Structure 1
């Protein structure tokens, strides 16, 4: 009989996942599998020991991108080599959207989990931290951190867009130095994104070339431009248009980056506060095994 640990965040998104917990347990029981719930908490210091005690076949993560980031970090730092599944239940579920693993009938995804259908994906690393979807720095970084939880619960991803649009007139470029696989460039930019997938902040096709298993990360910088150009870029991004060929975008694919700035700038890792610049970013190929349909 297969066992799975369910790591769920009780306060992610609209906080409604708790009401679905019993139904999810029943769905696994119907398939003669055991689902062992683990309620996440700040820092999740007991998760590693919990997993080792249960000895599951795999781990199912229910939450947003932040919850996914926390659990993946614990697994990689503690040598827990188990496949993961994702049940998106946060305000922003960018990585799950990229995989489309839960699109359509949820029953078929559970069947795929139990059948052990998996693939391997890369992750990024910054010092002793890992990110599964995106690292960023610049004028947009503080938006996700400043959005009130009640506003996120009411408006979901729209809360981020509303806050971001309100910040546009305040944008100021930053003089950044970027080293990509040993090649150095100096760019005056509003922000920098280093992405693993093509979905960021609910926006699809942010990087049409991004692949989860190519051993590379994609760097996207919005260079200094006029306010009308900035507004036009924002509209094109929200509309899902290809932005990497935009004249105001610096785009680089590489396996490693170093990003520095002459100002005090904090980064963001998968939607949570990260270290201040400079950043040393590396790709960790085939780091995580993940269940797919």
Structure 2
């Protein structure tokens, strides 16, 4: 009999899993899995249990928001021989699930786990921290971890948008040096994101038209500081229509890059606070972990324009 470690966050998405837990477990058992269940109690629990116990199982399944998935991913990235991962989304935005075509319904997601095939997915790292799909800094990026969980549960995506608009009154910029391949960018930026996803903050297509989830490259978006409100509105409009070729936006692909700044830059990693640094090295670990999905059949995933 195959062995499964099931790690779930009971608080994610207003405790969304509670009403479906018995059906989820039954789905796993019917697929001939011996299931060990672990309910997280505090931050970093999922990472610790994934690292300490993950290699003892054929499959590790986690349920929670993108933060819980990040913890499990981070724990398994430290393991010499990581098992395949299944994911049941239960958070607010669930960007990773959107990119991978994982059902939002948790029981259907459980069925997708037992019926799915492994897909080798690129994992990113920011200095010593791993991220599943996005690392970002600047305006909007603090919205996720500064918005209270109760507000996220009540208003969902609107909470992120509202928080971002409120923060525009005090937009902070960073004078940074960005190095990748043979290219150097030196500019004053208000925003940057390094992604391996087609959905960020619940907005699809914001990372570009063609996204390969296993190609060994990040999609990088950097936004220059506007000089006035007219330029700021121009940037917002460009993002709304996904015009990443706009004059205020740097958009490129890179497998690794270095960013330096004289002052510390605060980052979010998969929607949670990811630390503050003056030197940042971001590395793409191509096809480092495999996640189960029933919707991705081609090795190279191309996300079409929405």
Settle same-fold status: TM greater than 0.5.
yes
Q: How does 1:219-234 map to 2 (within 5 A)?
A: 219-225=220-226, 226-234=228-236
Whether the aligned pair in 1 keeps the contact of 2:20 and 2:107 (CA below 8 Å) is no
Distance 1:73 1:224 in 2: 33
Match for 2:53 among 50, 54, 76? 50
Deviation at 1:103, TM superposition (A): 5.8
Q: Which runs of 5+ in 1 are unaligned?
A: none
Whether the aligned pair in 2 keeps the contact of 1:244 and 1:250 (CA below 8 Å) is yes
Whether the aligned pair in 1 keeps the contact of 2:62 and 2:86 (CA below 8 Å) is yes
Q: How does 1:18-33 map to 2 (within 5 A)?
A: 18-33=18-33
Q: How does 1:61-210 map to 2 (within 5 A)?
A: 61-102=62-103, 106-107=107-108, 110-115=110-115, 117-207=117-207, 208-210=209-211
Whether the aligned pair in 2 keeps the contact of 1:143 and 1:163 (CA below 8 Å) is yes
175-184 or 33-42: bigger deviation: 33-42
Whether the aligned pair in 2 keeps the contact of 1:135 and 1:268 (CA below 8 Å) is yes
Paired residue total? 288
**Paired position in structure 1 for 2:280:** 279
What's the CA shift string for 1:140-173, capped at 9, x where partnerless? 2322221112111111121111110111232133
Deviation at 1:51, TM superposition (A): 3.2
**Paired position in structure 1 for 2:38:** 38
**Secondary structure of 1:263's partner?**
strand
Distance 2:173 2:51 in 1: 42
What's the CA shift string for 1:28-70, capped at 9, x where partnerless? 2233333321112322234433334xx3221111111111111
**Secondary structure of 2:251's partner?**
strand
Whether the aligned pair in 2 keeps the contact of 1:180 and 1:256 (CA below 8 Å) is yes
Distance 1:285 1:35 in 2: 30
Whether the aligned pair in 2 keeps the contact of 1:97 and 1:199 (CA below 8 Å) is yes
Change (3 A) 1:47 1:256: closer
Q: Which runs of 5+ in 2 are unaligned?
A: 295-306
Whether the aligned pair in 2 keeps the contact of 1:66 and 1:271 (CA below 8 Å) is yes
**Secondary structure of 1:262's partner?**
strand
Whether the aligned pair in 1 keeps the contact of 2:139 and 2:164 (CA below 8 Å) is no
Superposed CA RMSD in Å reads: 2.1
**TM, length-normalised to structure 2:** 0.86
